[in-house]
Structure 1
């Protein structure tokens, strides 16, 4: 996906200001910045959820996984029905395959969201997004609402899916350590503008912008990639 000159305005307020970003096929681009930086607005624009100016060349479908998995799932629908909802030809076999991709057993299909843990619900949300065979998967703060004990498992799932399916992914987080763990490239946003973009190791080891250095300084310990 190629994003050129993306701008989003809400009245007189400019939430995203002339952002240009390349998300190569099969790579994970991490979009990082503090709250209010505009990163989630970029996600919503790319997903077609808010009006924008600029050019988005997506080359196919875009699916988004939101921060709160419980809010994004219909509590009156079983997991199987939720996953099947996005399929062109919904079958029990295809639902089972998608649940397997996110390491959930087939019997999960008969359960309701309230019967699952937060990590399991997020896996269901990912499975449902994958059912639409997206060219780009947007993950917007998908671990921030989860217990620390399950965040790592979901991050490992993201890495596994990229390797297995060759997905392109825009992974959004305020946590630079989390982004570093899953992303091939990192884009840093501040006040609606992109201030730095490059390969993960380059951005982390030799940041070019003061704001990136401040984000790195705020992370006491970063996991090894």
Structure 2
């Protein structure tokens, strides 16, 4: 288990008058073995923060720390943070079999890679035979399970899940969320779970961070944020969640 911390992280795009601040001096901690739900509407900076964490975007200021040490990504080394993206189809190479896709992420694995691929497929609820399939032969839910297996193949300290059910049919979103929550508990992973859907964040998270215009405007235990929101934006998000009719 590992702690992920964002320390005054800022991400800007462009220069001069055309510069845009997507993430603005964010302080946020994902405690060891817990799930932090990061919620906010589209354009709030959630995905930019996630991309900065996994090295896809360079912070303009601040630092990102894992267990108190600045994260540094070097070619050929294990990546301690793994990300599961929103669209499972675009994140998988359509020319590679599922088995090859997962095996590729097993760089440095000391054992039998074929056996490990089968084990990982089983972890995400897929049959061993799926290793020979191509992404185009799978449903959206199955492809997202493959993406999760590939992330786990990297033996990560922290998983970042970015809107992982928003591209899926409503009928299968629940099963994927149940899988992720079960794996997080079983493997004792630290997780940053990103969604614009407060109902989903409520289901998944120990702690909730609310992001608005690039800033974290509220953070705390899930029951506290949901039961007694202090920021106007959080109150508006809660008011927009559909309620069951009596």
1:108 has 2:138 as partner: no
The residue aligned with 2:229 is 207
In 1, the alpha carbon distance for the partners of 2:236 and 2:180 equals 26
Match of 1:58 among 53, 56, 66: 66
In 2, the alpha carbon distance for the partners of 1:6 and 1:127 equals 29
Give 1:3 deviation, angstroms: 1.0
Match of 2:160 among 138, 141, 153: 138
In 2, the alpha carbon distance for the partners of 1:7 and 1:221 equals 36
- Unpaired runs of 5+ in structure 1? none
> How many pairs does the alignment contain?
222
Report the 3-state secondary structure (helix = DSSP H, G, I; strand = E; otherwise coil) of the residue aligned with 1:69.
coil
Q: How far does the alpha carbon of each residue in 1:161-204 deviate from its partner, in whole angstroms, 9 at most, with x for none? A: 11100001100000000001001100000000000000111100
The residue aligned with 2:102 is 83
Give 1:101 deviation, angstroms: 1.0
Report the 3-state secondary structure (helix = DSSP H, G, I; strand = E; otherwise coil) of the residue aligned with 2:225.
helix
- Unpaired runs of 5+ in structure 2? 68-78
In 1, the alpha carbon distance for the partners of 2:243 and 2:62 equals 38
Moved more, 51-60 or 22-31: 51-60
The residue aligned with 2:91 is 72
Larger radius of gyration: 2
Give 1:221 deviation, angstroms: 2.9
C-alpha RMSD of matched pairs (Å): 1.1
In 1, the alpha carbon distance for the partners of 2:203 and 2:154 equals 26
TM-score, normalised with respect to structure 1: 0.96
Moved more, 155-164 or 82-91: 82-91
In 1, the alpha carbon distance for the partners of 2:121 and 2:182 equals 14
TM-score, normalised with respect to structure 2: 0.88
In 1, the alpha carbon distance for the partners of 2:66 and 2:85 equals 19
In 2, the alpha carbon distance for the partners of 1:152 and 1:221 equals 18
Moved beyond 2 Å, runs of 4+:
none
